[in-house]
Structure 1
Amino acid sequence: MKKGFVFILLCIILVVFTAGSFAEVYPTKSLTLVVPYGAGGTTDLVGRQFGAALSKILGVSVVIENQPGASGYIGCQAVLDSAKDGSIALFAADSLGTQRVMGISELSYDDFTPIIAVANDPKVIVVSKDSPYNTIEDLLAAIKAEPNRIQMSYTGPGGSGHVQALIMSQFGYSPALTAYASGAECIVAVMSGQVVFTNSNHSTVSTYIESGDLKLLAVCANERMPQYPNTPALVEHMPGSEELLEIPYTPLSFLVANDVPSNVKELLRNAALEAVKDEAFNDYMDKNRIEKLYEKYVTIDEIKKFYSEWESTVSWLLFDSGAAAFSPEQFNIPRIDQ
């Protein structure tokens, strides 16, 4: 309570020395944080943890509002269409970097101002407890034997699951893709037998792995996870994929529309930097082995550079794989090595 009181006092002092009144530019009752995906996925789960920590610092309620649809477009556009007073913000995943090349919308990271890059939730490959596949070798062998027949759930075109499926295809493993509205629905599809497997974010499936409802076959990375020392990293079965598997495929960020007043952006930036120090938030991040992007990309310039490089790498990967509707060149997105 003391920390929250001190922070609110500092905020009031800040606003007094900037144009406009506190009541006009800041949500004195609550802050709505739009998650452009359904409940239960990694963006939703991490967003709720971050929102709870942010609420302690701001001293107001942070309300999570799920607005799924069109690979994240619906929720992102809703934030842009809302009042630009800082009362509505965005907690987004990766699809802002692929919307244009996938032909979903004209939106990109450039339409928003980053407040803080928050997290990257590692991807893992899971099957149901009743699946005949007990190892990643078994699953990969089946996919190779029957290309485009073994079904995998994912959250839509251009998303992290889609991109990783394309990487698998580059190495001779082409699953059949079935889209769902959220990561949670992707998991339900596996557990109910609608699909064979999914490459979920770890935080969304950790409890199901622990309970035995899902079997963990691989970590989509270059290294094994410490809590699963006997579970292979996907690179062990896809030699040469090291650079592709290094990419943070699910970068989660706290953003606002570009025309939100600068003093509000500064206030939210200061609050976010304090929020990520919260003990409960860090416990959640550590327990789920979620990468803390706010420690890797510290300044706003570093965050923007990361977005630019991520958009380039993934957009060209989608285009070169034949999955993108438009060439990245059409949007002046250079190749990362140019």
Structure 2
Amino acid sequence: MTNLFCGRRSAAWLIMSALAAAVPAAYAADAYPCQVLRIVSPYPAGGTTDILARLIGPGLSKGLGVPVIVDNKAGASSNIGTESVVRSQADGCTALLGNNTGIVINRNLYKLKYEPTRDLTAVGLVASTPLLLYVNAEFPAKSVAELVDLLKKSPGKYSYASGGSGSPQHLLGEMIKIQKSVFMVHIPYRGQGPAQQDVLGGTVPIAFETITALTPQLKSPRIRVLATTSAKRDPKLPEVPTMNESGFTDFAFENWYGLFVPSKTPAPVVERLSQELQKVLRSPEVTAKLAELGSRDVSGTPAQAAKFIAKELPQWEAVVKRSGATVD
């Protein structure tokens, strides 16, 4: 009887030990170490960054098993929101939906208290999209050539909007001024959403905007698209010429966006977040939405994102120098 009891107790102990060993493994594989994932969008609502953050949020929430909230922290051309993530706990509970402005451009224009490429770790890229040069429908120019003629005839009479000093939208406006020896006044806003609204309303007549953020307005009678910054004409807008076709040189640029966490975030957490991000970006609904918004597929691993960003650093540094842009 004693041997039978001991045998049963030993078997029960083995089963319990096996279950106990399995629990941490399951926890490591399935449970995300946060009650909430906060994605900081360093711009106001309505711009491309905000749109993308809210697009990937539901899928990440489902995959991670925690609520995902988008926190708009605008200001200083995305520096305020970016720095808030740099200074946050490196636990995977706070992420940044950043773009080329905050990650590779601002370091050439501002005296930052942090180094984005050192103090942030790329989880993965989310999207890459060309920009459109567009004007308010009441503006007299019907083409880029007519726009340049107006700027030459009336230096300083016209202005262009951007989401902030140092943004690609700002730099591309400066590139027009440099390449064509014209002058227009730069009006920086606290994000592309407010800038777009003022162009739609006619307060400022000219701007660049990503095709992603401008998609809802492409059929609007309030704007006119003059050109795209893509290397080739966009399939969605086959009638719109590229900037290079419109008399400019080396004028092919895209805005890219990625998910980042503080650099000391544990590698397993980064990897888990990366895997879930890639699942979201491969999902049919998100893939279709990104295509609708004019984005090309740039999804990949953290290592692939880091390699991509390393190539972007010297390219945008050269654009800043060529444009002669300064912080307003």
TM-score higher than 0.5 here? yes
Per the alignment, residue 286 of structure 2 pairs with 281
1:13 to 25, 31, 47: 25
CA contact (8 A) 1:35 1:91 kept: yes
Corresponding position of 1:203: 212
8 Å CA contact 1:70–1:104 kept in 2: the answer is no
Is 1:68 aligned to residue 74 of structure 2? yes
Could you tell me how far 1:313 is from its partner in structure 2? Answer: 1.3
Q: Report if aligned partners of 1:98, 1:108 keep a CA contact under 8 Å in 2.
A: no
Report the residue type matching 1:101 in the other structure: N
In terms of mean alpha carbon deviation, does 213-222 or 65-74 score higher?
A: 213-222
Instruction: For residue 169 of structure 1, report the CA deviation from its aligned partner.
Output: 2.5
CA contact (8 A) 1:15 1:263 kept: no
Residues 174 and 56 of structure 1, relative CA distance in 2, 3 Å threshold: farther
Give distance in 2, aligned partners of 1:264 and 1:14.
15
Kept in 1, the 8 Å contact 2:274–2:302? The answer is: no
CA distance in 2: counterparts of 1:187 and 1:320, whole angstroms: 26
Mark the CA change 1:11 to 1:35 in structure 2 (over 3 Å): closer, same or farther: farther
For residue 101 of structure 1, the aligned residue among 108, 126, 133 is 108
- Aligned with 1:176 (options 185, 196, 202): 185
Equivalent residue in structure 1 for 2:268, among 263, 270, 273: 263
Q: Is 2:312 the counterpart of 1:310? A: yes
Whole-Å separation in 2 of the counterparts to 1:239 and 1:233: 9
RMSD: 2.3
Q: Per the alignment, in what secondary structure is the counterpart of residue 238 of structure 1? A: coil
Structure 2 residue ranges without an equivalent (≥5): 1-21
Q: Is the 8 A contact 1:73 1:104 kept in 2?
A: no
Report the CA distance between 1:209 and its aligned residue: 1.9
Greater Cα radius of gyration, structure 1 or 2: 2
Structure 1 residue identity aligned to 2:312: W
Are positions 1:293 and 2:298 aligned together?
A: yes
1:41 & 1:83 partners in 2: Cα distance? 27
Q: How far apart, CA to CA, are the structure 1 residues paired with 2:104 and 2:24? A: 35
The match for 1:124 among 120, 132, 153 is 132
1:122 and 1:291 in contact (8 A); partners too:
no
Query: How many Å apart are 1:302 and its aligned residue?
Result: 2.9
CA 1:261/1:142 → structure 2, altered by over 3 Å: closer, same or farther? same
Mapped contact 1:69–1:181 kept (Cα < 8 A): yes
- Asked if 1:192 corresponds to 2:201, the answer is yes
TM-score if structure 2 supplies the norm length? 0.85
Please, which of 82, 90, 94 is the counterpart of residue 88 of structure 1?
Answer: 94
TM-score by length of 1: 0.83
In structure 2, the CA distance between the partners of 1:240 and 1:62, relative to structure 1 (3 Å rule), is same
Question: Offset at 1:283?
Answer: 1.3
Q: Tell me the secondary structure at the aligned position of residue 107 of structure 2.
A: coil
Contact 2:213 2:293 in 1 (8 A): no
Identity score, percent: 22
Q: Which amino acid aligns with 1:154?
A: S
The answer (yes or no) to whether the contact 2:123–2:301 under 8 Å persists in 1 is no
Unmatched segments (≥5 aa) in structure 1: 1-9, 326-338
Asked if the contact 2:41–2:72 (Cα under 8 Å) also holds between the matched residues in 1, the reply is yes
